[in-house]
């Protein structure tokens, strides 16, 4: 796996290092990577929209199968 370097302020680094246990991480790197992952997951967590016409077709099938009334 290729890796890139990112710089962070020393004070912030030290603060993270001091609180590693409470942050649930084994290293500053692990914490930063996971924090970025969570933020990205939330940002890209767009709702899925299905257009109305397709939705009606799906509902018809679900009704036929007895899933909905």
Partner 1 sequence: MIAPHGGRLIERIAGKKEKEDLLSLRGEYPEIEISRELAFEVENIAVGLFSPLEGFLGKEDFHSVLKRGRLASDIPWTIPIVLDVDKEKAQEIGEGLFLLYEGKPIAWMEVQEKFTYDKDEMAYSVYGTLSEEHPGVVKVKSMKDILVGGKITLLNHVSSPFPKYKLTPKETRVLFETKGWRRVVGFQTRNVPHLGHEYIQKTALTFVDGLFINPVIGKKKKGDFKDEVIIKAYEALFKYYYLPETATMAILQMEMRYAGPREAIHHAIIRKNYGCTHFIVGRDHAGVGNFYSPYAAQEIFDDYPDLGIIPLFFRSFFYCKKCGGVVNEKVCPHEEEHRISFSGTKIRALLMEGKIPPAELMRPEVAKVITEFNNPFV
Q: How far apart are the first and last CA of the chain?
A: 51
Nearer Cβ to partner 1 (17/34):
34
Contact 32, 20 (CB under 8 A): no
Q: Least Å distance between CB 55 and partner 1? A: 6
For the beta carbon of residue 31, count every other beta carbon within 10 angstroms. Answer: 17
55 CA to centre of own chain: 27
Convert residues 1-40 into a mask of x (bound to partner 1 by CB under 8 A) and - (unbound).
x----------------------x---------x--xx-x
In the bound state with partner 1, the residue whose beta carbon lies nearer, of 10 and 42, is 42
């Amino acid at each position: 796996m290729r890796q890139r370097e990112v710089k962070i302020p020393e004070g912030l680094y030290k603060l993270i290092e001091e609180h590693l246990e409470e942050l649930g991480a084994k290293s500053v790197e692990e914490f930063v990577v996971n924090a970025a992952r969570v933020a990205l997951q939330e940002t890209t967590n767009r709702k899925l929209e299905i257009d109305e016409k397709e939705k009606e077709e799906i509902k018809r099938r679900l009704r036929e199968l007895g899933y909905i009334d």
